[in-house]
Amino acid sequence: MSEIGRLAIVLGFIVAIWGSAASILGGLRRDKALVASGTHAAYAFSALTGIAVLALLQLLLTRDFNVEYVASYSSSTLPLWYTIAALWGGMKGSLLWWTFILAVCNAVVQVQNRHKNRDQMPYVTATMLITGGFFLSLLVFVTDPFERLPFTPSEGSDLNPLLQNYWMTIHPPSLYIGFVSTTVPFAFALAALATGKLSDAWIRTTRRWALFSWFFLSLGNLFGAAWAYVVLGWGGYWAWDPVENAAFMPWLTSSAYLHSVMIQEKKDMLKVWNMVLVILTFALTIFGTFLTRSGVISSVHSFTQSGLGPFFLIFLGIILAVSLGLLVWRLPMLKSKNELESVFSREATFLLNNLMFVGIAFTVFWGTVFPVLSEWVRGVKITVGPPFFNQVNAPLGLALIFLMGVGPVIAWRRASWSSLKRAFAIPVFAGVATGVIALVMGAGNFYAIVAFSISSFALATMFTEFWKGMRVRQAMMGEAPWTALSRLIGKNRRRYGGYIVHVAMVMVFVGIVASSVFKIEKQTGIEIGQSVEIGGYDVRFDGIEDESTEHVEIRKAKLAVFDDGELLGFVYPEKRFYKKPEQPTTEVAIWSTIGSDLYTVLGTYDEASKIGVFQLFLNPMISWMWIGGFVLFLGTVVCMWPTYAERTAEATSRIPAGSKTTS
C-alpha cells in the first residue's frame, strides 16, 4: 500500500505541473483543447491525492510499523479515533491532509464552474494546481509520508499524548479547511486580474467560498481554544502563542474582506483594497503553515524541527510577487467610481472596521515575528508575551464591538443628526444602563464595565433591527410574530444572518472579558474528607481511584462540588501516564454552568498523608464563548443558504448556451 501511495503523490505532482502549464497556455491562446486538458489534469490531481490519503490511512489502520510515519505516530494500543487523527498528527501526514483538502476544493470548483466563468477558469485551475503541486513536491522530494524503515519495529512510538483528546480530532481538520479554502477566492482574484474582467462577477462567484473559509477559520480557532482549555491544565484558552497567532491573522483579514466587499458591491468602491485583502489572507495561511513547520518558533502546537522553512518562504515570495505584480498592472482598471461622502455613513463605518481588523492583524504579526527577527539580527531572542498583545489589541477589540453596533443602523452615503438620534437612542440607553448595573453589582474593573456597556450597545442595536423588521412585516402582511421574523430572515438572509453572527461575536467577546478579568485561582492541599471554598463553591476531596489499561495508567481524584451545602455532583481530575511514549499528562475536570466554570486540576497526591494538591480556577461566563460558537454556526448557515431567487439563477446558469427548454 505504501508503494501505491507513493506512486499516487508522484503522479499527482506530474499532473499538477502539466495541468497548470496547459491551463495557462490554453487561457492565453484561447485553446479549448489545452484548457480541457488542464481541467482533466485537475480532476486527476484530486483523484490521485485522494488515493494517497486513503493509502496512508490504511497503513495507519493496519498498523504497518515498517512505514516510518506509522511507527512515529501510532501504536498497537492507540484507540481507533486517534489512529485516524494520526493522519494529520505529524508533519508529513498534515502536509498530505492539506493537499487533500485542496484537492476536494479543486474538484468542487471544477464542477461548480463547468458551464460558467469559462474565461477565468484556466487561471483558477492553474492557481490551484500550482499550489497543490508545491505541497506535493515537498512530499515527493523532501518529506515522504510513505518512507519505509530498514527494519520493522515491534511497536510504534504512539501519538503525542497531548493530541489524544476529542478537540484535537476536529480542531486541525477545521483549521485546515479554513486555511485551504482561502485558495478559491485567491484563485478567482488572480484570474480576474489576469483576464482584466474586474467587475463584481468574481466576488459573487466566491462570496460563499470566502464565507465558508472564514467560518472554518472561526471554528478552528474556537476548537483550538477549547483544546488548550481542557488539555494544557493552566485554566486558560489563549496565550498568544505564535501558532495561535498564525491561525488568528488570516481570520482577521478574512473578516475585514467580508465587510469591505459589501462596499464594493453597493458603492463600487475599495476594489484595490479588496484585492489586497484576498491576497493577504491567502499569503497569511501559507505564512502560518511555514511557522508550524519551519522550526523557527517554539510552540506546543508546532511540529518538530525541519528543513521545510526555506521552501515555504520561496513559495510565499512567488505568491506575493505574482499577485502584487498583477495588481499593479491592473491598477488603472480598479479605480473606484464613487468616493466617501461623509464620515457619518455606513461606508465610513465599514472602512474604519477594516482598519481595526488590519491593525490587530499587523500587531499580532509584528509580535509574532519580532522575536525571530531580533534573534537573526542581534543573536538574542526577545520574548513578546501576552501583555503586549493584550494592551494593544484590547482597545481595538472594544472599538470593533462598538462599530458592530453602529454599522447596521447608520445610513449609506450620509446620515443626518436626527436619524442618528432615532437609531441609537435605545442602544445608547442599553449600554449606559448595563454599565450602571455592572458598577452597582461590584464590577470594579473599568475595562470590564466599558466592555459590558459597549457589548450591550451592540446587542441592543441588532435586536432593535430584528424587532423593527418583524413589526413592519406584521403590519404589512398580518403575520404572527414568529412567522414574520422567520420570513424576514429568509427574505434577506445575508443581512440578518450577518446580524446573528455579530450576536455570536459579542457573546464570545463577553466570555473572554469576564473570564479574563474576574478569574479566581487557588492552589491548595486538601486532605481526604476535607473541603476548600472557591467563588461560592465548596469542593470536597473524597479520595483517589487508580485505573490501568494496556495503553495508559490513570490516577483519578474524586471531588464533590457543593453550592450552599447542596451537592451538585462530582468531578474527576486525572493524572495519566501513557505507556508507549512514557509521558505523563494532566486531564482537567470541569463543573460547568452558564454562569461559570469550576476548573479543577490534580497536581500531586501523597499516599502517606492522604493529601492531594489541587489547582482550582473559577472562570466566569466562559461558557458564553462556546455558546457563541453555536450561534455563529447558525448565523453562517443563514448567510450561506441560497434564496429561491439565487437557486433559480444558479439552475438557469447551468443550462449550456444554445440549448432549448420545453415546457
DSSP-H helix ranges across 268-308: 271-294
* Percent of the chain residues topping a pLDDT of 70: 94
pLDDT of residue 299: 54
Residue with C-alpha cell 485567491?
186
| Start-to-end C-alpha separation, the chain | 53
What's the pLDDT band for 658 if we cut at 50, 70, 90?
A: very low
Regarding predicted confidence, which is higher, 661 or 538? 538
Q: Which residue, among 508, 469, 472, 510, has the nearest Cα to 632 in the 3D structure?
A: 508
> What pLDDT score was predicted for residue 629?
95
Gap between the Cα atoms of 11 and 140, Å rounded:
10
Mean pLDDT over residues 160-165, rounded? 90
pLDDT surpassing 50 at residue 162: yes
**For 628-641, what is the mean pLDDT?**
94
Nearest one of 285, 292, 310 to 88, comparing CA atoms: 292
| pLDDT at residue 651, as a whole number | 59
Residue 511 has a pLDDT of 95
Which whole number is the average pLDDT over 19-27? 97
The pLDDT value given to residue 655: 55
- 365's enclosing H/E stretch is helix 346-378
Please give the residue that has the higher pLDDT: either 214 or 201. Answer: 214
Residue 50 phi/psi, 5-degree rounding, is -60, -40
User: For residue 366, what are the contacts with CB-CB under 8 A and spacing of at least 6?
Assistant: none
Distance CA 181, CA 105 (A): 7
pLDDT higher than 60, residue 560: yes
Question: What angle separates helix 446-477 from helix 417-440, to the nearest 10 degrees?
Answer: 130
* Residue 596 to residue 90: CA distance in whole angstroms: 35
DSSP per residue over 198-237, as a string? -STHHHHHHHHHHHHHHHHHHHHHHHHHHHHHHHS-SS-S
Question: The C-alpha cell of 186 is what?
Answer: 485567491
Give the pLDDT score at 645.
63
* pLDDT for residue 309 is more than 90: no
pLDDT above 70 for 492? yes
Give tens-digit pLDDT for 36-73: 999 999 999 999 999 999 999 999 999 999 999 999 99
The pLDDT of residue 662 is 37
Q: What is the dihedral of CA 326, 328, 332, 336, to 10 degrees?
A: 100
How far is residue 624 CA from its own chain's centroid? 18
Cα gap 405→401, rounded to integer Å: 7
Average pLDDT over residues 586-591: 94
Q: Of 232-246, 400-414, 642-656, where does the model show the most confidence?
A: 232-246
pLDDT recorded at residue 407: 83
- Length of the chain counted residue by residue: 663
Residues in CB range of 476: below 8 A, 6 or more apart: none
- What does the pLDDT read at residue 296? 64
What's the mean pLDDT when you consider all of the chain? 90
Give percent of the chain with pLDDT exceeding 90. Answer: 71
What is the mean predicted confidence (pLDDT) over 447-460? Answer: 94
Reported pTM: 0.93
What is the pLDDT, as a whole number, of residue 657?
47
